[in-house]
């Protein structure tokens, strides 16, 4: 797991989400030993002021633990503890949610372990949505990795995941965009050929890949995945992956289908232990 001098302090994913197999799923792992507080937000209508079109009009969020037990849910952020959500959003530097909007948010106290935040339309109407997970508690607990499973479609050709690294140290990360290998796990209609691009806070591309085993460091990528406990991606597959050293700051990863390929992709960001 990551150490306190370089923490993964938040994660976000923007993509299309709908019902059934097309729902957007953001996975994350809480490290450390202590309980911690997290803020999870799903923003649909609130994206329109940033020029995003075809937004999900009424996103709802459900947070599940490792045992698939529902631990928190919300539809309409002001139906919960809106004061606490407003304060937590300001604390972590998130943009404010609009009063009266149908965006959703929850604050939950969680123990170390893996969780998923699942986004679905309350009224059955899908669209673009942003799901965010923030670390509200300072201390020994922190996010260890993030993942997002979403859809690449002709109308939405890119899935965008964002994350922020705090602290003072440079950390090595494994970033993967898995498409075709998802079929081995029974995922219907995965992207047949996936690619990824990593950008820094200035939107400068700092790394990219299409076909991970063509890289000169493919053996290191495979070894890193094994060390982290990530499932193996077959050599020669059309999945994408990079190993990259990250200084503290904000980053985004763009996942695409190569040659217009569409379907389901899994985007993962892991910190390697020092």
Please tell me the least confidently modeled range out of 39-43, 80-84, 136-140, 172-176: 136-140
Q: For residues 125 and 242, is the Cβ–Cβ distance under 8 A?
A: no
Q: What is the mean pLDDT of residues 72-89?
A: 93
Is residue 164 predicted with pLDDT exceeding 90? Answer: no
Q: For residues 269 and 228, is the Cβ–Cβ distance under 8 A?
A: no
* Percent with pLDDT over 90 in the chain: 60
DSSP class of 273? P
Name, in order, each residue with C-beta under 8 angstroms of 204's C-beta and a sequence gap of 6 or more. Answer: none
**β-pair partners for 30:** 113, 143
Q: What is the mean pLDDT of residues 19-44?
A: 87
> pTM to 2 decimals?
0.83
Q: For residues 190 and 263, is the Cβ–Cβ distance under 8 A?
A: yes
What six digits make up the tokens of 66? Answer: 């490792």
What ranges in 108-260 are assigned the alpha helix state H? 218-228
Residue 92: the pLDDT is: 84
Compute the distance between CA of residue 44 and CA of residue 47 in angstroms, rounded to an integer: 6
Q: Is 70 exposed, middle or buried (0-12, 13-18, 19+ CB in 10 A)?
A: exposed
Residue 169: the pLDDT is: 76
Q: What is the mean pLDDT of residues 253-274?
A: 90
Name, in order, each residue with C-beta under 8 angstroms of 107's C-beta and a sequence gap of 6 or more. Answer: 37, 38, 39, 40, 72, 80, 81, 84, 85, 88, 136
């Amino acid at each position: 797991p990551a150490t306190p001098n370089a923490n993964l302090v938040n994660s976000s994913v923007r993509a299309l989400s709908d019902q059934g197999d097309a729902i957007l799923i953001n996975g994350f792992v809480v490290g450390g030993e202590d309980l911690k507080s997290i803020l999870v937000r799903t923003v649909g209508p609130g994206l329109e002021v940033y020029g995003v079109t075809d937004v999900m009009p009424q996103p709802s969020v459900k947070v599940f633990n490792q045992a698939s037990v529902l631990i928190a849910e919300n539809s309409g952020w002001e139906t919960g503890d809106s004061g606490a959500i407003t304060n937590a959003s300001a604390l972590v530097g998130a943009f404010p949610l609009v009063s009266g909007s149908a965006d959703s948010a929850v604050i939950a106290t969680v123990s170390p372990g893996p969780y998923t935040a699942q986004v679905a339309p309350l009224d059955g109407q899908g669209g673009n949505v942003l799901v965010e997970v923030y670390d509200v508690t300072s201390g020994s607990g922190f996010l260890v990795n993030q993942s997002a499973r979403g859809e690449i479609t002709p109308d939405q050709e890119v899935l965008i995941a964002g994350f922020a690294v705090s602290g003072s140290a440079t950390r090595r990360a494994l970033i993967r965009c898995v498409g075709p290998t998802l079929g081995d796990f029974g995922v219907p209609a995965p992207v047949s050929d996936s690619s990824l691009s990593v950008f820094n806070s200035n939107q400068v591309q700092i790394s990219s890949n299409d076909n991970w085993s063509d890289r000169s460091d493919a053996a290191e990528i495979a070894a890193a995945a094994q060390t982290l406990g990530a499932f193996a991606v077959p050599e020669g597959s059309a999945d994408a992956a990079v190993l990259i050293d990250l200084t503290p700051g904000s980053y985004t990863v763009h996942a695409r289908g190569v040659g217009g390929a569409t379907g389901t992709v899994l985007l993962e960001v892991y910190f390697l232990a020092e």
